[in-house]
Structure 1
């Protein structure tokens, strides 16, 4: 790029205008003709979801969604995690950094004023530039100057840079909300996992009691000559196996407590202080009627992706503005004199004023390459947004389908448990009465145990999917109630033209 600079203290306004017009005429040498993008963000209506996401009169999750599970400890744990988690602190730091860029970008739109003062003590050569009495003599030079400059930003480059910074801040704020939703759901799902382990531990403890009862019956039958030591040792082995399972579950409970402690942003001992969960079923699962249209404002990850697209649009416009001349106004006033006696007199005044015009004439394609890169970033952000939307729709539909499947399984599993429990009870009676062998009662016991574990696991898995659905629906986030409302969609960055863009196109043609 070559740069043309004009600066003269006495340059007239007419001369400045003429210089600006001449500079504009030269912009045809560097232009962005033919560089564009046809990518556009997708609308939820573009994806068929009417069957999978049919509304059933439900409500969007509220921020206090954890209260529905009837365990007062869970909302407290979530609040503690949101207050002390390093992951939230990291998101807040990223937001603060993005906010700082807004301040620096806004400063470029305002005039800048600077002041300077210098004092130099110098011995001038008697055989050089300065004749006597200066040559061969020591002198002190005082120089004070107050200067101001202002970039007129005629083509909006600085304004687009500010818009990009604002959009990045919005994206960072939405990312922080996404981190909060993810953390809250992670705490709830891990807490539900702890509840599941406790329920399985209770089943294991009851199973030990059942198998000890079978062992007592077996010992009596061995004494009566109805069974042998084979049945006795089999009964003892089954008790030991169940006790092994119980020890494994207790180890998993401790590990899960440690995981909860980490999610809370605390040490592992904090997890050991958590009381045993007492979760209930929760609210009836029903989808809102305005899905999937409103999902784009309810999921913070979609909102963040949309703001990234908006930031990329501003980047493209800024790159386009680089093809046009920069016009800066500058002025300065001060004093410059040898010694102190005449430093602040009118004769020592120094004044400078005038415009400076910088325009690209030939840059070897650097500006066009930069614009192509900005368009590539824009296309990438559009693709990321579209992928985020597709993933969100799939996430919600998958959670709903899984919950409905579990509901169907739960009815069959409960009937299987009722039947196997009765079969086990009858087998114990017959075994105790000497009417059946040990194998029959052990088989019935194993069937009953498996059925009970299945019912418990389905119950806990359903609640886990409920929490997952809450997260998929945004976890209570609503962009319309915050400052994160996304601007109206635009088809592409190429369609958002300005006067400068039009002028460049004409020059290119």
Structure 2
């Protein structure tokens, strides 16, 4: 027994020594440590002094608009792009199933019935030699790759990581869809507000024109005065028409995002949006490290790194001997008379060994390709993480600036409103000319439009911050099939 064991060890050592050379191929990149990234003063200032929870999954409820809730619910059910992302998850699951199959024994039935001319100078004896006869074989065949070096196991692990990548990307598609609907909805609200301002301005302009015509009849104004005031009316009508155009297009866009036809957009009423003060500008205190598990795009890139690393291990295993066990049992005979009798029974078992020695550099090139793919995955993760932190910081800069802009515009709007009211009274009393009235209206219109745009940008900033923080995403464990345990043995909904 000791001699046999020793002989096996010697043979195994010889096989390993004869394997192809891997060369000195190594990864050339390193993952960024999120804890070492400096968030900047905006993030630092927004994570201190208050305890803030991460966004909820249905973060858009903060706008308090049931119609918006319904649009997003419809989009999550019917949007084609989201269905494509979900199909990618199922595709990855089935590819993982193929990888899992490679780790298991393969059993099948092989049957052949061939009528052939047998050689007179072969091992087949007369009367078949030199004549045509049926050569029949039916057997159950089994093969099993011992996978001594773990190549198939690493490929399976990589495939399961790819399932997680697809699942995270599906969640990113969902979050992007939600964000696009909210932004389009905010723009729809803005167009309604701008249209209201233009219509109010038009009403004042037409009232001033009526007064000017009365003054011309009384001999207190000229036809030039009336004509100049009339010339200011058509541009407002054109502006209102442009807002109507934008409202219609945005309704169509929201219907399309919801997976509906343009006709459904006609049912979308005017948005009623509200957002509670400054509280949404505060950030959870765990930034930036928790972005790794809270943003689906960062999670996807991280699992991509894991998958690429396991593909490297699988590529390394290809350099070592591969041993397959093969077995068969069945019947084999010439002719049919005794084909299924005990005398025709066959059975056998044995190993099949493949040993890579020289392959023209194919294995090293394959390993090098997987190393390069790993480097790409790492840099993609690094770039995504850095961009994630940047997007949070930029969103805070915009939100804080908008707060200040709104404060300044509130004062300017109050002043412009007071100036227009005084000028309108003066014009009606004949104490000021129409040019002064027009200038006051233009100034008020500009401030009202600015106020509406600032309000819309603040609402969009909230959506942008929810996107930057991952929109309530928590990774969910994904199984290859319904009867497969969770990938890492954890509970669904826990942090990855």
Question: TM-score when scaled to structure 1?
Answer: 0.88
Q: Distance in 2 between matches of 1:63 and 1:39?
A: 34
Look up the match of 1:194.
188
Superposition deviation, residue 417 in structure 1: 0.9
Counterparts of 1:167-178 in structure 2, within 5 Å, are 167-178=161-172
Give yes or no for the alignment of 1:423 onto 2:419: yes
Look up the match of 1:59.
53
Superposition deviation, residue 123 in structure 1: 4.6
Q: Distance in 2 between matches of 1:181 and 1:94?
A: 16
Superposition deviation, residue 314 in structure 1: 0.8
Superposition deviation, residue 13 in structure 1: 8.9
Decide which moves more: 182-191 or 291-300: 291-300
Aligned with residue 94 of structure 1, among 81, 88, 93: 88
Aligned with residue 329 of structure 2, among 328, 333, 340: 333
Look up the match of 1:255.
249
Superposition deviation, residue 345 in structure 1: 3.3
The size of the alignment, in residue pairs, is 473
Give yes or no for the alignment of 1:462 onto 2:458: yes
Look up the match of 1:3.
none
- Superimposed CA distance per residue, residues 144-193 of structure 1 (whole angstroms, 9 cap, x where no aligned partner): 12221111111110001001100111000000000000001110110110
Superposition deviation, residue 91 in structure 1: 0.4
Superposition deviation, residue 339 in structure 1: 2.5
Q: Measured at CA, do residues 304 and 49 of structure 1 come closer, stay the same or move farther in structure 2, by a change above 3 Å?
A: same
Q: Distance in 1 between matches of 2:336 and 2:311?
A: 52
Counterparts of 1:351-430 in structure 2, within 5 Å, are 351-430=347-426
Aligned with residue 312 of structure 1, among 286, 293, 308: 308
Look up the match of 2:24.
34
Q: Measured at CA, do residues 473 and 216 of structure 1 come closer, stay the same or move farther in structure 2, by a change above 3 Å?
A: same
Q: Measured at CA, do residues 376 and 282 of structure 1 come closer, stay the same or move farther in structure 2, by a change above 3 Å?
A: same
Q: Measured at CA, do residues 126 and 34 of structure 1 come closer, stay the same or move farther in structure 2, by a change above 3 Å?
A: closer
Decide which moves more: 223-232 or 398-407: 223-232
Look up the match of 1:501.
none
Counterparts of 1:6-85 in structure 2, within 5 Å, are 19-27=11-19, 30-54=20-44, 55-56=47-48, 57=50, 58-85=52-79
Q: Measured at CA, do residues 138 and 367 of structure 1 come closer, stay the same or move farther in structure 2, by a change above 3 Å?
A: closer
Superposition deviation, residue 226 in structure 1: 2.4
Decide which moves more: 123-132 or 104-113: 123-132
Superposition deviation, residue 110 in structure 1: 1.1
Q: Distance in 2 between matches of 1:128 and 1:310?
A: 57
Contact preservation (8 Å) 2:160, 2:487: no
Segments of structure 2 that go 5 or more residues without pairing to the other structure are 480-485, 489-496
- Superimposed CA distance per residue, residues 363-416 of structure 1 (whole angstroms, 9 cap, x where no aligned partner): 222211111111111111111111001111111111111011011010111111
Q: Distance in 2 between matches of 1:136 and 1:483?
A: 62
Q: Measured at CA, do residues 92 and 448 of structure 1 come closer, stay the same or move farther in structure 2, by a change above 3 Å?
A: same
Q: Measured at CA, do residues 472 and 76 of structure 1 come closer, stay the same or move farther in structure 2, by a change above 3 Å?
A: same
Q: Distance in 2 between matches of 1:69 and 1:169?
A: 34
RMSD value, Cα = 2.1
Segments of structure 1 that go 5 or more residues without pairing to the other structure are 1-11, 488-509
Superposition deviation, residue 342 in structure 1: 2.5
SS in structure 1 at match of 2:94: helix
Structure possessing the higher relative contact order (Cα contacts under 8 Å, 6 or more residues apart): 1
Look up the match of 2:268.
274
Q: Distance in 2 between matches of 1:170 and 1:210?
A: 60
Look up the match of 2:428.
432
SS in structure 2 at match of 1:52: helix
Contact preservation (8 Å) 2:410, 2:451: yes
Contact preservation (8 Å) 2:294, 2:469: yes
Look up the match of 2:110.
116
Look up the match of 2:443.
447
Q: Distance in 2 between matches of 1:483 and 1:164?
A: 13
Look up the match of 1:217.
211
SS in structure 1 at match of 2:139: strand
Q: Measured at CA, do residues 150 and 179 of structure 1 come closer, stay the same or move farther in structure 2, by a change above 3 Å?
A: same
Where does structure 1 differ by over 4 angstroms across 4 or more consecutive aligned residues? 12-19, 123-131, 481-487
Q: Distance in 1 between matches of 2:290 and 2:116?
A: 74
Contact preservation (8 Å) 1:70, 1:282: no
Aligned with residue 157 of structure 1, among 151, 169, 194: 151
